[in-house]
Amino acid sequence: MLPVSDIRGTPVDLTKENSFAQRGTFIFVVRNIDPTSDEFLQQSEALAPYLQGDGYWHFTLYLPQIWSACNVYVKSVLTHRVGEIENYDFIKYSDYSHTSTEHVDRTEPLFIDLSFYPRQQAISPDPLQASTVITIHYESESVKAAGIEELPLIGENAAVRTAKANDQNLSTALYVLGILICALYIFVCLLKKTSSFLPHLFIDFGIFGILFSSFILTTASSFPFFWQTLRLFMFFFTLFSAFCALRNKNFLFRPWHCLLLLMAVCTLSVPVLQIIPYDFSAWDHWYHIACTVFFSVTTLIFAFLSAGRKECDIAFLVTPVLVACMGIAACLPNISLFAYANPMFWLSAVILLYTAGLGARVFISQEQKLRYLTKNLQSDVHTKTREMKTMLEERDQLLRYVSHDMKKPVLSMQHFLEVLRERETDTEQQKTIDIIARKANELNKNLSDIASYSRNNFAAEDSRSFDVNELLRLAQQDFEPDCNANGIRLKVVPCHIYVYAKYKTLYSVLSNLILNSIEHAECSHIWISAQKKKDRCLLAVSDDGKGIDEGKNVFYPYYSESFSRNNTGLGLYLAKNFMQSMNGDLTYTQEDKKLTFFIDLPLA
């Protein structure tokens, strides 16, 4: 249809649900004042603020998105092009000589200047001749998206632009709030390692998707059909998430599960029906209305039934109820030009703010419980620590008694065995006395180990940082005379490695290993060295003695290689316990006739 050539077609009410062709023409006729009216002068005076320097009344027409490409003519002049209409020859409609060959999607809101002649004598009595006619040729990517996004708006330029800018700013603030609340819920879910907040997180994410896609559709967009489909999907995803929030394993679980499955199918069907090429536009709107009502009413029913149970927290039911109310509001006719006059907008804002408050309340409540538990735990730890110190003191007293007082009869027994051995002439009896004397010696050594254990008191000593080289120098100073007396060469390799350990306890372990080599290994050399390995320090004590029989656990209490050899007693068993008390370990290897014990320690 040529612009202003003739006005034909079907008048439509844009406040109602309409079905438009994939390609067609919108015509808006904005009439001037009737010059034959008796009230012309009064009406003309009322429009005086709109009179500009060129002698015309000027108004701004706001046109929302026309799906999804359009050419706009004011009277017969091409004023705006959005996207490309396939096979469109501009020269048929205007002086612009261009022919588009293919469809290109794009939508954007348009602000069009309209001018009207104010002189009564110059205004044509023919209403159409006196009017300003806006002709819009449009083409949609799909018949499902054909049409106009919302109602046009006309008024003074500054007022129209300010109203739309304020509306857009309000929408921006709300979707930014939505993403911040989603981030808050993600933080709470990760911090508390719980999935109980996921339905509320999904609700907030769905509302954010609705608001963000709506915001994108109020700006210039090259993919309007995608954002329209996403907005519709996010709406049903929000309703679906609200029903998920009513989950209760012990209450109506089977019907809830069946309805949830049905809702999931309906939710997924929404984008599928939008994408497939078949035209469902005749019943598509009513399908969406039916699904929305079903989702909303079912959610309200389950929320009401859940509220009657004592173990249910009513605070968690408010969000699903608000979402259900938002779904019902979406079914009402929406003729609002502005978000702030749309009930869905404010329900979305209330849902976001409420879920934010709910998340904060739960988070604060759990933090208070955690602080209470921590306070009680600290008190319990203090009490247990005091009890353990008392127990250790009692244990040390008992060990000192065992090691000191019980050694006296053992020493007496050894003395009498020596006397008896000197007097006995029978060979078999002498062998028996020797066995008893050896066992007495072993018992005396074990009592000495227990005495050393009680003196060290490794549990009470605090760990600190120190240089291993200090320990090696002290060991060389203390044990080199003993090695020389037994014909053993002691070699200590200097190093500077800082470890975090218990100094006295570590020296006790090192001394035990050196003494074992001197007294039992029958060796000629002892080597002591240390090296770093990643974040650990390995302190090695090696000798070239007789070694250890394979398959023997030398760290087991009272381990003995054979009856003919000295009992190692508790020494290595206690040494390994000492090391484990310092977050370390004691191990050994045996190769090439060389036995090496490794003391594993954390670096400082």
* Statement to judge: residues 261 and 317 lie in one domain: yes
Return the percentage of the chain with pLDDT > 90, whole number. 30
Cβ atoms of residues 407 and 447 within 8 Å: yes
Query: Does 551 or 441 have the greater pLDDT score?
Result: 441
Domain stops at, among 155, 183, 217: 155
Pair of tokens at residue 305: 């039934």
Round to whole Å and give the CA distance between 9 and 29: 13
| Residue appearing with tokens 């429009």 | 47
Q: Is 335 among the domain residues?
A: yes
> 361-396 in b/e burial notation, b at 16+ Cβ within 10 A?
ebbeeeeeeeeeeeeeeeeeeeeeeeeeeeeeeeeb
* Statement to judge: residues 352 and 482 lie in one domain: no
Round to whole Å and give the CA distance between 543 and 130: 116
Round to whole Å and give the CA distance between 334 and 497: 77
Q: Is 586 among the domain residues?
A: yes
* Statement to judge: residues 169 and 272 lie in one domain: yes
Round to whole Å and give the CA distance between 153 and 165: 13
What's the Cα-to-Cα distance from 392 to each of 39, 248, 305, 459, 580, rounded to whole Å?
A: 107, 51, 59, 8, 18
Per DSSP, 569 falls in state B
Specify the range with the lowest mean pLDDT, choosing from 165-169, 394-398, 590-594.
Answer: 394-398
Pair of tokens at residue 391: 């127990």
Q: What average pLDDT does this structure show over 48-77?
A: 91
What is the predicted pLDDT for the residue at 5?
A: 65
* Statement to judge: residues 217 and 335 lie in one domain: yes
Query: What are the φ/ψ torsions at residue 461 (nearest 5 degrees)?
Result: -75, 140
Round to whole Å and give the CA distance between 540 and 521: 16
- Beta strands at 69-74 and 464-467: parallel, antiparallel or unpaired: unpaired
Reported as a single tens digit per residue, the pLDDT across 344-383 is 888 888 999 998 888 777 777 777 777 777 777 777 777 7
What is the predicted pLDDT for the residue at 253?
A: 66
Q: What average pLDDT does this structure show over 65-75?
A: 91
* Statement to judge: residues 68 and 216 lie in one domain: no
How many alpha carbons lie under 13 Å from residue 201 in its C-beta half-sphere? 14
For the cut 90, the answer to whether the pLDDT of residue 386 exceeds it is no
Give the helix ranges, DSSP H, for 333-456. Answer: 343-405, 407-423, 427-456
Q: What is the CA radius of gyration of the chain?
A: 46
Q: Is 420 among the domain residues?
A: no
Cβ atoms of residues 3 and 129 within 8 Å: no
For the cut 80, the answer to whether the pLDDT of residue 219 exceeds it is yes
How many alpha carbons lie under 13 Å from residue 233 in its C-beta half-sphere? 17
Query: Does 453 or 461 have the greater pLDDT score?
Result: 461
| Residue appearing with tokens 């400082």 | 604
* Statement to judge: residues 188 and 320 lie in one domain: yes
Could you tell me the sign of the dihedral formed by the alpha carbons of 521, 527, 533, 537, in that order? positive
Reported as a single tens digit per residue, the pLDDT across 432-455 is 888 888 777 777 777 766 666 655
402: Cβ–Cβ under 8 A, 6 or more apart, which residues?
447, 450
CA distance from start to end of the chain? 87
| Residue appearing with tokens 């079905």 | 19
CATH number of the domain where residue 598 is located: 3.30.565.10
3-state helix, strand, coil split of the chain in percent (to 5) is 55, 20, 30
pTM, full prediction: 0.61
Domain stops at, among 124, 155, 186: 155
Reported as a single tens digit per residue, the pLDDT across 268-310 is 998 888 888 777 666 777 888 999 999 999 999 988 888 877 6
* Statement to judge: residues 501 and 542 lie in one domain: yes
Q: Is 13 among the domain residues?
A: no
Q: Is 406 among the domain residues?
A: no
Return the percentage of the chain with pLDDT > 70, whole number. 88
Round to whole Å and give the CA distance between 95 and 83: 19
* Statement to judge: residues 148 and 166 lie in one domain: no
* Statement to judge: residues 466 and 549 lie in one domain: yes
384: Cβ–Cβ under 8 A, 6 or more apart, which residues?
none
For the cut 80, the answer to whether the pLDDT of residue 82 exceeds it is yes
Round to whole Å and give the CA distance between 131 and 124: 9
Reported as a single tens digit per residue, the pLDDT across 114-153 is 999 898 888 888 888 888 999 999 999 888 788 888 889 9
Specify the range with the lowest mean pLDDT, choosing from 150-154, 219-223, 422-426, 555-559.
Answer: 555-559
Q: Is 320 among the domain residues?
A: yes
Pair of tokens at residue 277: 């090429």
Q: Residue 485: which domain range?
A: 458-602
355: Cβ–Cβ under 8 A, 6 or more apart, which residues?
181, 185, 200, 203, 204, 319
Reported as a single tens digit per residue, the pLDDT across 232-257 is 999 999 999 999 888 765 556 678 88
Domain total for the chain?
Answer: 3
Query: Does 15 or 83 have the greater pLDDT score?
Result: 83
Round to whole Å and give the CA distance between 315 and 63: 43
What is the SS3 assignment for 401?
A: helix
Q: Is 266 among the domain residues?
A: yes
Q: What average pLDDT does this structure show over 28-53?
A: 90
Q: Is 452 among the domain residues?
A: no
Round to whole Å and give the CA distance between 2 and 25: 10
Domain stops at, among 319, 344, 364: 364
Reported as a single tens digit per residue, the pLDDT across 556-591 is 765 554 433 444 456 788 788 888 888 899 999 988
Pair of tokens at residue 119: 């002189």
* Statement to judge: residues 123 and 187 lie in one domain: no
* Statement to judge: residues 31 and 151 lie in one domain: yes
Could you tell me the sign of the dihedral formed by the alpha carbons of 506, 508, 513, 518, in that order? positive
For the cut 70, the answer to whether the pLDDT of residue 205 exceeds it is yes
Specify the range with the lowest mean pLDDT, choosing from 156-165, 269-278, 538-547.
Answer: 269-278
* Statement to judge: residues 187 and 119 lie in one domain: no
What is the predicted pLDDT for the residue at 561?
A: 44
Our measurement of the distance from residue 129's CA atom to the centroid of its chain's CA atoms, rounded to an integer in Å, reads 64
For the cut 50, the answer to whether the pLDDT of residue 198 exceeds it is yes
